[in-house]
Structure 1
Amino acid sequence: MQRLKKPVTIFFKGLFFATLLTACKSKKTDDKAAPKQNAPVVVDVIIGEAQPITNVIEANGTVIAKEFVELHPEVSGRLTYLNFPEGKNIGQGTVVARINDADLRAQIGKSKVQLELAEKTIERYKPLLDINGINQADYDAVVNQVNGYKADIAYTQALIDKTVIRAPFSGVAGLRQVSPGAYVTPATVIATLQQTNEVKIDFTLPDTYGNAIKVGALVDVELDGATTKRSKAMITAVEPGANTDTRNLKVRAVLKEGASNPGAFVKVFVDAGNNRSSIKIPTNCMIPDDKNNQVVVVKNGKANFVNVETGVREANTVEITKGLNVGDSIVVTGVLFARPKGAVKVRSVKKLADLNKTAEGN
């Protein structure tokens, strides 16, 4: 037993030192892997300053002709005459087309013969009625026939008038949709006619801007998407009720400068007024929340999350109406890494104009 005691003691001592060495190595490894808990987040900021805010609303519009009509025949029949100079101006009242009316004219001729006979009968009955040679009822029946034939002639003449298609106003004729000799009905479109010397622009705006729309006010219009040149148009009318599906108001303006083809797409810019000075920040530095929008502000080297209220939005910026003060350091990069009351390190102070140029370049 004495011989075994010393080797056992040596064994336990070796095991102790091995365990201690393993623990030390593990601790060193953990220390290397552990992140630095107090390392500040590197951010870039802009200094909040009051800038002019122009409340201009951009809307999509459509150019329409001053007057536009699709020419339809009022009666069915075969086209016997078609005088429609495509793409040229025609005057009001110009005969555009005629429909075969031979049967109607024959009907008028028949009614006129019957009318003539009835009128002669009245001439013969009148002296007889004066001497009581005939009954009053017989005389009245002939008079009624005369009136009936006159009514038939007037009705048939109205039908003949409907076979003639005239231009309701002066304008530019469109492309013909039919040819002479074609059988047409009231559903057939012969061609279009429109006035292009003065065009109108229809556009829609949310009903919340109803107070900003004034009849007689001027708006800017971009007629060509390839250029930024703007023309003037004057608001002439506003739809009295908003669309129940979109809650938008339909507005109509008359173009005062420039020219455009009906049906073209344009952009309309309406000045809603209330021009003022407010703090503007890049839209990508806001943190959307379920209830509020937040912005990170650096104070005393700490990140402070501030609830803000927004106003007018532009392409890359947004107006802050409440929550920020002039002189605040607003985080614009590194927003996602900032933590409430966490340490931050300001790397540089950016200019809002430079950030806008960068965003537009991307």
Structure 2
Amino acid sequence: MNAYAISARPKQRKRLIIVIVVVAILFGLLIGFNTFKGIMIGKFMKSMGNPPQTVSTMTAGYQAWQPHVESVGNVRAVHGADLAFDVAGLVESVDVKSGADVKKGQVLVTLVDADDRAKLEALQATAQLAKLTADRSKQQLAVQAVSKAQYDTDMANLKSAQANAAAQQALVDKKTLRAPFAGRIGIITANSGQYINVGNTVVTLQQLDPVYVDFTVPQSSLDELQVGGKVAVTADAFKDKAFAGNVSATDPKIDLSTRNVGVEATVANPDKLLVPGMFTKVAVDSGTTQRYLTLPQTAVSYAPYGDTVFVVHEGSPPASDADGKPVEAKSSADAKASKGDASKDNKGPSHYVQQVVVTLGPTRGDQVAVLSGIKQGDVIVSSGQLKLKNGTPVDINNKVQPAFSPNPQPVEE
């Protein structure tokens, strides 16, 4: 038994060695095949080159930029009041319709005043009699027919009677509600026969052209504001319309809680679209107009290490070696020969891009000002730059352009 075991050991070792050698050969073949495949794929990809990318472009050009201070404000009428009666009474008639434009002095609402008018007529008759008596006393005094005391008494009675008549006339006038200025009235809820107490609001009257717009700006912007400066006002209700005006006044003090200063602008409102209480956005011109190279904000790749844009150049991208580094320049003869061969064989894109670091300035709407890095006339990639790198060939398609408005408005579908 022991002799059989001893004789079997060399055979087991031989089999184990054969298995290990076979496994090692298989692993070697597998590794070699994968390495060879990777090399061949790399060579194939290098021979293919960078595929062209489709982008949209825009030519960099100068635009005029007007610096301004932005704020939000509220519309206030130049003349506005809630009208009420000084006396109580029953409504006799409503002489206007709700929402009508009225003139100064136009009758709006009238209270029942028959008793007051009758009393007025009686007092006016008493005043007329007192005047006749006073005139007679004056004539008689001239011929010494009456005493001076009688004449003074008759003149005092005349003035008293005239004052009583004037007081009653004022009471009658209070029974008629008139427009104190021209404007547009609101909704009238009073009806004939309704009893109205003293001080109850009957109707509101607002003058709508022009209007005031009240807003605030930080104290740091106070030196940029001037009385008479231009103002542009927009409202959400009228997205495509801007209302022009001028700064008419500023508060003489700054709010201690907000450190803002109040500003009043007078805005023309010929169509009477702006109404008191409306929320508005205000842009006040400050300083002189500046000229900046202007691009859409979508053309800029923002990054912590620097903002960049892609400049489009004509021709083929510069040649590079296997590591992506530029190759050394060829001699003039070789360059001409290679250029001629390339012109015969080149049927691909005729443009490529180069990434450039830029210094940005202020922004407005969809636009951004470029202070340095590019020059006027440079063709800049406006969209599609996320798939680009230096030397990437591009196909230009400008059928669709990104937004490029200095004052964009939301689009409602």
TM-score (normalised: structure 2): 0.48
Question: How far is 1:191 from its partner?
Answer: 1.0
Identify the range of structure 1 (207-216 vs 114-123) with the bigger mean alpha-carbon deviation. Answer: 114-123
1:242 to 2:253 alignment: yes
Equivalent position SS for 1:74: coil
Q: What percent of counterpart residues are identical? A: 27
Distance 1:232-1:114 versus aligned 2 partners, 3 A rule: closer
1:88-147 deviation digits (Å, cap 9, x = unpaired)? 223332211112223332332332343344445446656765665654223321221122
SS of residue matched to 2:273: coil
Q: Are 1:193 and 2:205 counterparts?
A: yes
Q: Tell me the residue number matched to 1:214.
A: 226
**Higher Rg:** 2
Residues 224 and 259 (structure 1), Cα distance of their counterparts in 2 relative to 1, 3 Å cut: farther
Give the alignment partner of residue 164 of structure 1, picking from 163, 176, 185: 176
Find the residue that maps to 1:150 and give its secondary structure. helix
Unmatched tracts of structure 2, length 5 or more: 1-62, 293-300, 306-360, 366-372, 374-388, 390-413
What does 1:8-157 align with in structure 2 at a 5 Å threshold? 55-119=67-131, 121-122=133-134, 129=141, 134-157=146-169
Count of residue pairs the alignment pairs up: 249
Which amino acid in structure 1 is aligned with residue 223 of structure 2? N
- What are the ranges of 5 or more consecutive residues in structure 1 without an aligned counterpart? 1-51, 286-294, 296-310, 316-325, 327-347, 349-362
Matches of 2:200 and 2:181, distance apart in 1 = 20
| Aligned CA distance change for structure 1 residues 271 and 257 (closer, same or farther; 3 Å) | farther
Which of 283, 292, 298 pairs up with 1:269? 283
Match of 1:204 among 187, 191, 216: 216
Q: Which amino acid aligns with 1:203?
A: F
The separation in 1 between residues aligned to 2:143 and 2:66, in whole angstroms, is 95
**In structure 2, how many angstroms separate the alpha carbons of the residues matched to 1:155 and 1:173?**
29
Q: Secondary structure at the match of 2:162?
A: helix
CA RMSD of aligned residues (A): 4.4
Map Cα deviations across residues 24-50 of structure 1 (whole Å, 9 max, x no partner): xxxxxxxxxxxxxxxxxxxxxxxxxxx
Q: 1:128 to 1:249 in 2, by over 3 A?
A: closer
Residues 83 and 205, structure 2, Cα contact 8 Å, conserved in 1? yes
Which fold has the larger relative contact order, with Cα–Cα distance below 8 Å and residues 6 or more apart in sequence?
1
Q: Deviations over 1:245-298 (max 9, x none)?
A: 433222213147986331221111224337699xxxx9997xxxxxxxxx9xxx
Cα distance between partner residues in 1 of 2:161 and 2:270: 58
Contact kept in structure 1, 2:101 and 2:182, CA below 8 Å = yes
How far 1:178 moved relative to its partner? 2.0
Contact 1:55/1:312 (<8 A) preserved: no
For residue 232 of structure 2, what is the amino acid of its counterpart? D
Aligned equivalents of 2:139, 2:70: Cα separation in 1: 84
Q: TM-score, normalised by structure 1?
A: 0.54
Residue 252 of structure 1 corresponds to which residue in structure 2? 265
CA 1:197–1:127: 2 relative to 1, 3 Å: closer
Greater CA deviation, 80-89 or 267-276? 267-276
Q: Is the 8 A contact 1:76 1:184 kept in 2?
A: yes
Cα distance in 2 for partners of 1:243, 1:200 equals 20
How big is the shift at 1:233?
1.7
